[in-house]
Amino acid sequence: MLVSLKNIYLDIDGVILTRGGIPAQHLDKFLGYILDNYSVFWLTSRCQGDSKYTVNYLSQFLLPDTVSLLEKIKPTSFRLDKTEAIDFYKGFFWLDDEIFASEKNTLNEHNKFDSWIEINLISNPNQLLNLINSKLKIFSETKPAKEVKKIDSKLKFPPSKQEYGKLSL
């Protein structure tokens, strides 16, 4: 179970797949990381409210282990602009290689232009790995609930009456 997560919105072409349907480098590591630390959604014309078509499409390019990760990504739907499917009330990152001017305008209207991460796997084939080691790691606001419980069990403030007597000042 995850607590208080930012959303990540993913396109397929140019993010998951490079030109010619080649999987992005470090894709499994990237997907594993974002699925553990964020709430992840498809934001692609290849997913209109049902992820089954999306996963089926991608299964022709990817190994079964990768496909099983993709099955965990939630669907979205929109009519014209992808920004119609974004929850602007929650923090988010949108990974896409190219967005329309109207989508840029919508991001600017919501003061969220910096939430778009422009992906260019041609000039930076290691970009997905770089993201989980930098921007997505730095800005990940929460941890899986099991980690929170582990941290909480180590912190006991204020100390109990028994522990208080053992404290040395």
Which domains does the chain possess? 7-143 (3.40.50.1000)
Q: Write down the mean pLDDT value for the chain.
A: 85
| Percentage of residues of the chain with pLDDT beyond 90 | 72
- Rg of the chain (C-alpha set): 19
pLDDT of 152 strictly over 60: no
Q: Can you tell me the distance from the alpha carbon of 10 to that of 131, in angstroms, rounded to the nearest whole number?
A: 13
Please state whether beta strands 39-42 and 7-10 pair in parallel, antiparallel, or not at all (unpaired). Answer: parallel
pLDDT of 125 strictly over 50: yes
- Going by pLDDT thresholds of 50, 70 and 90, the confidence category of residue 161 is very low
pLDDT of residue 139: 55
At 168, list the tokens: 């040395």
pLDDT of residue 53: 92
Mean pLDDT, to the nearest integer, of 66-80?
96
Count the helices and strands in the chain (H runs, E runs).
8, 4
Evaluated on CA atoms 99, 54, 94, 63, the torsion sign reads negative
**CA 139 to each of CA 29, 34, 59, 135, 143: distance values in angstroms, whole numbers, following the listed order:** 18, 12, 31, 6, 11
